[in-house]
Structures are given as C-alpha cells and as structure tokens.
Amino acid sequence: MPQPLAIESVNHVARLTRHLEESRAFYRDVLGFRELARPNFKFPGAWLYNYGLQIHLIVDDAAPLEKGEISTRADHLALHVADISAAERSLIEHGIPYKSNYVADRDVTQLFFHDPDGHHIELGCYPPVREADVEQRAASTPLPR
C-alpha cells in the first residue's frame, strides 16, 4: 500500500464571499487576521493571515445567500482561544450572535457563530492532542481495504 502524502501543515482556508468588504473587516477586526499582498487574480478577493493560517476570501456568486441557523454540527473553521470567557465577551461587544455548546467529557465550551457570508466559525479552548492518544486510536481502528 502506498504511503500517505507527506503533508507538513495547513496553509490556508478559502471562503467564498458575496460581501468582500464586510468579510475583510470581520476577519481583520473581529478575528484579528491581518491583510496579505494578494496575486493579481482576474477576480476580486483578499488574503489575510494570523495564527499560522491564511484565510483567502474569494468573491463568487456561489457563496451562501443567507446565514440560516447557527449550527454546532455544520462545516466550520475552529479556532483555539486561551480564554473562552474573554472570547464570549468579545463576541457580545461586537454584536455577533452565537450559540454555546459544552462538551462535558473534554471540559470544553465551544462558541459557534457566522461570518458575514454565513460560514460557521467555532471558538474553543481545546486540550492539547497527545501523540499517545493518536497512536492508541490508530491501533484500535482497522485500515480500510
């Protein structure tokens, strides 16, 4: 069986947007990303960076039309915060609606909310993943055939 790809890290997450300026301000002013120089593509967008991650905003009519309900199970971008209470206060100060979810067996409070285009974002203060946990799970999970 071939070896898995030699991936080193996540480089960026792309988000389709109908609201470029609103999304740019949201990722910059609410989430703390900073603008990067962007190649001269033939379509509008913006690149932002912080926390070792780039967010690529791409203007496209395929972006969601409505935000809908805030879901704790939708596709989402999860970001680690050191203080979930401070993050919650910040969401309130910015006037951003959110849902809170508590995962008892991990003692993690999660905050879910939308960006201006309805993409879900999660904030949490997550425990570190230990290599022993990964190895234990891998040993107990049969490989697909």
- Per-residue pLDDT, 47: 98
- Taking the C-alpha atoms of residue 62 and residue 79, their distance in angstroms, rounded to an integer, is 25
Architecture of domain 1-62: Roll (3.10)
- Burial of residue 102, with CB atoms counted within 10 A of its CB: 0-12 exposed, 13-18 middle, 19 or more buried: exposed
Per residue in 57-91, pLDDT (tens digit) is 999 988 777 788 999 999 999 999 999 999 999 99
Would you say the CATH fold of 64-145 matches that of 1-62? yes
Joined tokens for residue 77: 């971008």
Distances (CA, A) of 43 to 12, 60, 110: 18, 9, 35
2 or 139, which is more confident: 2
Per residue in 4-25, pLDDT (tens digit) is 999 998 999 999 999 999 999 9
Per residue in 90-128, pLDDT (tens digit) is 999 999 999 999 999 999 999 999 999 999 999 999 998
Residues 6 or more apart whose Cβ sits within 8 Å of residue 80: 123, 124, 125, 126
Sign of CA dihedral 67, 69, 75, 78: positive
Domain 64-145: which CATH number of 3.10.180.10, 2.40.50.100, 1.10.1060.10, 1.10.150.120: 3.10.180.10
Prediction pTM value:
0.87
- Taking the C-alpha atoms of residue 87 and residue 124, their distance in angstroms, rounded to an integer, is 9
Nearest to 56, CA basis, from 48, 64, 66 = 48
Active site residues: 122
> Domain boundaries in the chain?
1-62, 64-145
Sign of CA dihedral 46, 48, 53, 55: negative
> Is it the case that residue 139 has pLDDT exceeding 80?
no
Per residue in 21-63, pLDDT (tens digit) is 999 999 999 999 999 999 999 999 999 999 999 999 999 988 7
